[in-house]
Amino acid sequence: MELMVYLAGEIHNDWRSEVIEKAEHRALPLTFVSPQTNHDRSDAIGEVILGEQPNPIYRDDTASSINNLRTEVWMNKADIVIAFFGEQYKQWNTAMDAGAAISKNKPTILIRPQSLHHPLKELSNKATVTVETIDQAIEILAYMYE
Amino acid sequence: MELMVYLAGEIHNDWRSEVIEKAEHRALPLTFVSPQTNHDRSDAIGEVILGEQPNPIYRDDTASSINNLRTEVWMNKADIVIAFFGEQYKQWNTAMDAGAAISKNKPTILIRPQSLHHPLKELSNKATVTVETIDQAIEILAYMYE
Amino acid sequence: MELMVYLAGEIHNDWRSEVIEKAEHRALPLTFVSPQTNHDRSDAIGEVILGEQPNPIYRDDTASSINNLRTEVWMNKADIVIAFFGEQYKQWNTAMDAGAAISKNKPTILIRPQSLHHPLKELSNKATVTVETIDQAIEILAYMYE
Amino acid sequence: MELMVYLAGEIHNDWRSEVIEKAEHRALPLTFVSPQTNHDRSDAIGEVILGEQPNPIYRDDTASSINNLRTEVWMNKADIVIAFFGEQYKQWNTAMDAGAAISKNKPTILIRPQSLHHPLKELSNKATVTVETIDQAIEILAYMYE
Amino acid sequence: MELMVYLAGEIHNDWRSEVIEKAEHRALPLTFVSPQTNHDRSDAIGEVILGEQPNPIYRDDTASSINNLRTEVWMNKADIVIAFFGEQYKQWNTAMDAGAAISKNKPTILIRPQSLHHPLKELSNKATVTVETIDQAIEILAYMYE
Amino acid sequence: MELMVYLAGEIHNDWRSEVIEKAEHRALPLTFVSPQTNHDRSDAIGEVILGEQPNPIYRDDTASSINNLRTEVWMNKADIVIAFFGEQYKQWNTAMDAGAAISKNKPTILIRPQSLHHPLKELSNKATVTVETIDQAIEILAYMYE
Amino acid sequence: MELMVYLAGEIHNDWRSEVIEKAEHRALPLTFVSPQTNHDRSDAIGEVILGEQPNPIYRDDTASSINNLRTEVWMNKADIVIAFFGEQYKQWNTAMDAGAAISKNKPTILIRPQSLHHPLKELSNKATVTVETIDQAIEILAYMYE
Amino acid sequence: MELMVYLAGEIHNDWRSEVIEKAEHRALPLTFVSPQTNHDRSDAIGEVILGEQPNPIYRDDTASSINNLRTEVWMNKADIVIAFFGEQYKQWNTAMDAGAAISKNKPTILIRPQSLHHPLKELSNKATVTVETIDQAIEILAYMYE
């Protein structure tokens, strides 16, 4: 009864490693998938594969097409989606991914600091569960197997 | 061949009035629906209807449940979704609504200033069309009827 | 922008009349649909149409098949579902209808007295909004048109 | 040709153990999944993970959000849903789960004592099969492999 | 609250006229749609439009493609499907249409004489309601508006 | 790249054994699932599990509910559906199953003798492929792996 | 019982006018929708609305995003799709639109000259009906109302 | 985390071998599925299995029904679809397959030479990513596993 978990959210810190290590520590039978977490690689991938683009907008657009393909493939296979918001970045793509996951009936856990409760109130209300820390999310994943 | 258009996005300025007036000026057979655009009313609606809540998080959660109901009802009926991003606010609910609309196969127009192209690159790539101004969006709505 | 509202829930009191009158009083452009609210008629409809059945279980089954057809037809057309629970009856069919409505992505308002919060906690968490009184539900319906 | 079976229903007695033991006794290639069956744990899980809540309604709401996540994840993966009703409890969440399962086209077996035929008549009519005992449900699971 | 009803079933007798007249007599706000009921026209329509075909199988195939288009268009728009089986013909297309309607979650009424209960037992069990006469089906349609 | 094939159709002869043996003979990596093929067992299963019913119609209805559960579970898992029609029986349930399979976008192979082309013309036109013999169906299954 | 028909296909000749005139001549209650049929306008619309693009590929991409929005909006509302292929142009977008329409269960009529039967054989086999002339398509539309 | 990739597109050259070899060379955990790539076999399969047909159109139609079955079965199982267009052939079935894949929310990579950008502009805009060479597509597949 292995489950696949997609880790949506910012790629500027190492929150995913923390999730994965803590899940491994508790021997939870989970497979984690995620977007490209090397930020420079993620931003550059369009031009790396498709060649130089005429301006920054098209540079971004080609990178996004490849990153969106990656997100869609893995999210389609996921049983659970975790969306993580930190205080520093806008992360509109995380909100978009969470909105998409909820519309596809993927059970979704939102992790956000209490300080973000107001701007994330609609997403929090739509997510299946909202927590404030990675440890709380891990507790929920462990609870699946009790 | 009337179409219904849902106007997702920030409620801190009057961009919706501009869209509606310009559409009326061109006599486009469109009906517009939107979230509650009175910001204070939108934030207060939970406590207004359900009574005082024990803390700001639950105040926000009850307001969001009612605002989400409104969004879902009108978005379900919409033929086109327009998502507007301005430079000042986080507007994660707009990104969530756009993600949901795209997942429900609602044709979606993204309006965002060029300055936001980088943080909105994934959403721009997924939207059906991205423009920078309300006038451009109006041109597209008019193009539907040529 | 007329909306159709399905009124699921017990048929032992006249809560539906109260909803409809209050909506009319506020001139909300709503059409209400509901199950058969004449309790005896609802229980008897199977034998009235299909003739005497061999025992009470089959009497109930034939009545239910006709009542379920009615519910499905009207719920398919509804934009909003209201599910009402009173303190006296089990009303498992209301919970079933609410579960079905939520699975079909119909925005759903749950009305239940505070005394029922514990047994209805899972349904309350899944419904789009939970309120305690008919007046609160009417406020939400009116809010759709602000 | 292993099948996964979700066991919805009351968690106040040990009917699930009986189902699982009898299936194992007959060596049926089935995997069973279920909600949290430790009642106290199920009611407390919200506060255990998310901390003390301001009142009993929010205590229940946080617990339900986590229990609903668990139900959705496992029910999404199930090939068959069994919904069990006993005589003592209201179990509206079981009726909601059954309504959701049927709407998602999950073949559903309803187990209920004959004494409950009247209040469960609509659900019985919608379920794929209705039986009165666990032994009858086991016979049906075994019949899948004849 | 007008409803559209698709009348699937044999085209060798005039049961549809009976349904329509009785519904009109009771002033039910129903619109009826159906397959081509002129049997010769239905069988010939492929060659009438597409020209002579090389053999009877291809004659039938071209006719069926046009009749299937008609059925799909009208059934997609129908709120209720009535499937009628008489004693004389095989009418596999009626059973196919009923199977398709049920899979598309169209509430379905099966009309069949008691003598056919055994060969139609699986379809009867899947249909929303099974009746034996047109009058019973009319009573159900009238019951929608009580 | 194993595929699962559901074998819908009459249970009065041993056509399924022929399919399975010929597939094994060619070492095709296929798993076959089917309805209960012991005719007496299939007709009796309702009363065997649920006890004596008040009349033949309800005897058939209880048997059908269990057989329909079996069909739905296996057909949901199938990659391909084969529907077989012989000359002797009405087999409306086969036509219903084929209609359901096609509506669920299951690629469907129809096997029917040429003598049945006229009454099965609509189903033949909707099926993905129509053949006349089991050997032809086996050729198509083998073709999947070329 | 008005129906909406989407006319997919080449915009280099005036086949749509012929369809519309012939439907009007027979007083069929049809509403026709289509892509932009002014070829220059269709190719230029991206730069007209969004400004000059850095190269022909991006010029085409912006035009396509707007034309795809138009196609999706109208096709979503259509009851029937007609896809027309002439001998001169590649019209891959027509084949893409037809593939999308069929996947969305829109009944689809393919019009193509006999000379194109080989390259269009897969699409012809998937379309609901294939014809060779506009007159034949009109006959089918008229047949809907017999 | 193995993924299945469907390779849609022309069967006149050996582009699929190149994809498969390059993926194997990089040890990507991918399984590739495709249509019949032996062109003569593909065109003849209808008559090989079903016997001589009365004319070339029906010869093509029977072959297409079998090739479409194959495409549907494998595409249903695919996680990613790659659609390849070369300069020489019309390949309308590839455009149809791509349109169907996109409508089924299968992430889709379009490979086309730059010379085809204009006729493929709508499909390119709808595909998740567009590239010009097989090597670029391989880079994207490899990127899934970084």
pLDDT tens per residue across span D45-75: 999 999 999 999 999 999 999 999 999 999 9
**pLDDT score recorded for residue B131:** 98
Residue H90's pLDDT band (cuts 50, 70, 90): confident
Q: Which two tokens stand for residue D50?
A: 């998310």
Tell me if chain E has a CB within 8 Å of the CB of F96: yes
User: In this predicted structure, what is the pLDDT of residue E143?
Assistant: 98
Looking at the complex, report in whole angstroms how far the Cα of residue B114 sits from the nearest Cα belonging to chain C: 33
**What pairs with residue D131 in β-bridges?**
D111
* H39 Cβ under 8 Å from any chain F Cβ: no
Helix (H) or strand (E) holding H30: strand H30-33
C42 touches chain E (CB under 8 A): no
pTM: 0.97
Chain D touches chain C, with at least 3 Cβ pairs below 8 Å, answer yes
**Torsion angle (degrees, nearest 10) of CA E82, E83, E84, E90:** 170
Is the CB of E131 less than 8 angstroms away from the CB of C49?
Answer: yes
CA angle F46, F50, F53 (to 5 degrees): 75
What is the structure's pLDDT at C88? 85
- Find the mean pLDDT for residues F4-26: 95
| Closest by Cβ to E33, choosing from G1, G139, G143 | G1
Burial of G107 (0-12, 13-18, 19+ CB in 10 A): buried
Contacts of G36 in chain B (CB under 8 A): 143, 146
Say if G29 falls within a structural domain. yes
Q: Which of A107, A136, A146 sits opposite D69 (nearest CB)?
A: A107
Selected residue with higher pLDDT from F90 and D123 = D123
Instruction: Give me the total of CB pairs closer than 8 Å, taking one residue from chain E and one from chain G.
Output: 44
**CB of G136 within 8 Å of any CB in chain E?**
yes
Please answer whether residues H132 and G135 qualify as being in contact, where contact means their C-beta atoms are separated by less than 8 angstroms.
no
Where are any strands of DSSP class E within A1-146? 3-9, 30-33, 80-84, 108-111, 129-131
- pLDDT (tens digit per residue) in H49-83: 999 999 999 999 999 999 999 999 999 999 999 99
Q: Mind listing the pLDDT tens digit for each residue in G95-132?
A: 999 999 999 999 999 999 999 999 999 999 999 999 99
- Region E7-25: mean pLDDT is 95
Residues from chain B that touch D58, judged by Cβ atoms under 8 A, are 54, 58
pLDDT > 70: percent of chain H: 100
Which residues, at least 6 apart from H56, have a Cβ–Cβ distance to it below 8 Å?
Answer: G117, G118
| Subunits close to A (at least 3 CB pairs below 8 A) | B, D, G, H
User: Residue A90: what pLDDT?
Assistant: 83
Tokens of G5: 């028909």
| C142/C23 Cα distance (integer angstroms) | 8
Percentage, residues of chain E above pLDDT 70: 100
Q: Is residue G9 part of a domain?
A: yes
d(CA B132, CA G62): 13
Torsion sign over Cα C26, C29, C35, C38: positive
What is the total count of domains within chain H? Answer: 1
Q: Percent of chain A, pLDDT > 90?
A: 94
Mean pLDDT of chain E: 96
With CA atoms as reference, the chain H residue closest to F136 would be H49
- DSSP H or E segment with residue A12: none
* Nearest CB to B121; choose among A60, A104, A125: A60
Cβ within 8 Å, pair D103-C99: yes
**Interface membership of A2 toward D (CB under 8 Å):** no
Give residue B90's pLDDT. Answer: 83
Q: What is the pLDDT of residue C23?
A: 98
First to last CA, chain D: 12
> Which residue from F79, F130, F143 is facing H45, i.e. has the nearest CB?
F143
Asked if the C-beta of F31 comes within 8 angstroms of chain H's C-beta atoms, the answer is: no
Question: CB distance from D130 to chain F under 8 Å?
Answer: yes
Q: Please report, for residues B72, B91, C145, F138, H20, the alpha-carbon distance to residue B88 in angstroms, rounded to integers and kept in the order given.
A: 25, 9, 28, 64, 49
Q: What is the predicted pLDDT for the residue at E36?
A: 96
The residue type found at F88 is Q
pLDDT of B11 = 86
Please check whether residue H53 lies inside any domain of the structure: no
pLDDT for position A95: 97
Question: Average pLDDT of chain H?
Answer: 96
Q: Is C56 on the interface with F (CB under 8 A)?
A: no
* pLDDT one-digit tens code per residue, H24-36: 999 999 999 999 9
* H1, pLDDT greater than 90: no
* Residue B72 forms contact with C (CB below 8 Å): yes
What is the pLDDT at residue E88?
85
Q: Is residue B70 part of a domain?
A: no
CB contact under 8 A, H136 and A38: no
Minimal C-alpha gap between C56 and chain D (Å)? 8
Mean pLDDT (chain D) is: 96
For chain A, the helix, strand and coil percentages under 3-state DSSP, each to the nearest 5:
50, 15, 30
Of A63, A93, A72, A80, the C-alpha closest to A144 is A80
Q: Cβ contact (<8 Å) for C49 and E139?
A: yes
**Which helix (H) or strand (E) segment is A47 a member of?**
helix A39-50
Q: Residues B107-141: pLDDT tens digits?
A: 999 999 999 999 999 999 999 999 999 999 999 99
pLDDT digits (tens, 9 = 90+) for E125-137: 999 999 999 999 9
CB within 8 Å of D75: residues ≥ 6 apart:
D6, D8, D81, D97, D100, D101, D104, D106
Percent of chain F with pLDDT over 90: 94
Question: What residues contact E23, with CB distance under 8 A and at least 6 apart?
Answer: E30, E32, E138, E141
Q: Which two tokens stand for residue A84?
A: 């993580």
Q: Provide mean pLDDT across the span D88-102.
A: 94
Report the distance separating Cα C110 and Cα D92, nearest Å. 13
Question: What's the pLDDT at G11?
Answer: 86
CA G44 to chain A, closest CA, distance in angstroms equals 19
Mean pLDDT on E42-60: 96
Residue C13 C-alpha, separation from nearest chain D C-alpha, in angstroms? 17
Sign of CA dihedral C3, C4, C7, C8: negative
Token pair 């009108």 in the structure block, residue: B74
Name the token pair of D128.
């794929």
Interface test with B, best of A50, A90, A121 (most B CBs within 10 A): A121
Return the bridge partners of H108, or none: H81
Which residue in D4, D8, D6, D5 sits closest to D97, CA to CA?
D8
Residues in chain B, pLDDT under 70? none
pLDDT higher than threshold 90 for residue D1: no
Question: What's the pLDDT score for residue F125?
Answer: 98
Half-sphere exposure of E44 (CA within 13 A, CB side): 5
Weakly modelled stretches of chain C, pLDDT under 50: none
For A132-146, F84-98, H19-33, which range has the lowest pLDDT when averaged over its residues? F84-98
H117 touches G at CB < 8 Å? yes
Question: Which residues lie closer than 8 Å to D61 by C-beta, 6 or more apart?
Answer: C121, C124, C125, D46, D53
Residue for token digits 């501009």? B18
Average pLDDT over residues G41-65: 96
What number of C-beta contacts closer than 8 Å exist between B and D? 6
H55 touches chain E (CB under 8 A): yes
pLDDT of residue B127: 98
Structural domain boundaries enclosing C106: 3-38+78-143
Which CATH number do you get for residue G135? 3.40.50.450
| Sign of the C-alpha dihedral computed for residues G9, G15, G21 and G25 taken in this order | negative
